[in-house]
Amino acid sequence: MNTRHAAVWMDHNEARIFHVTADAFDTLAVRSPNRHLHRHPIGREETTHPTDAKRFFGEVAHALGEVSEVLVLGPSTAKLEFLRYLHTNARALEAKVVGIETVDHPTDGQLVAYVRRYFRAIDRMRGSPPSTRGKALGGA
């Protein structure tokens, strides 16, 4: 689905990407390598490899594709680490991030409703016309 607005909800285990229009949404899940790998630390060393996060964030950035605006959501620090990744590795996508919000673990329906409200508010503040796709088809 080629959309103008997208949101990514992420924690350290997965990222759920939502491409959202006025009347539909499409989701894609990207799993972190940490989700399936269990490494046994020796002593108190870090249990993840530095390349795991970089690969995970790279896959998320690639999956966002050619969206115009991105809202980054999540319950933990993964969203901030993702923004640091974008700053270093994907400056074009970093410029498309319109907000960062702390959101716990909503259902897909709750998340889509939140994202639609968020982007409607941004469009109103900018004076941009809201998406008319749903209205042209007789939808809300």
Contact partners, residue 9, CB within 8 Å, separation at least 6: 15, 16, 18, 73, 74, 103, 106, 111
Give the CATH number of domain 5-37+47-136; options: 2.40.50.100, 3.40.50.300, 3.30.420.60, 3.40.50.2000.
3.30.420.60
Q: Look at residue 128 and tell me whether its pLDDT is greater than 90.
A: no
Domain locations in the chain?
5-37+47-136
Stretch among 65-69, 76-80, 84-88 having the lowest mean pLDDT? 65-69
Q: What percent of the chain has pLDDT over 70?
A: 76
Query: Is this model's pTM higher than 0.85 or not?
Result: no
For residue 83, CA distances in Å to 42, 70, 79, 97, 112 come to 30, 11, 6, 9, 21
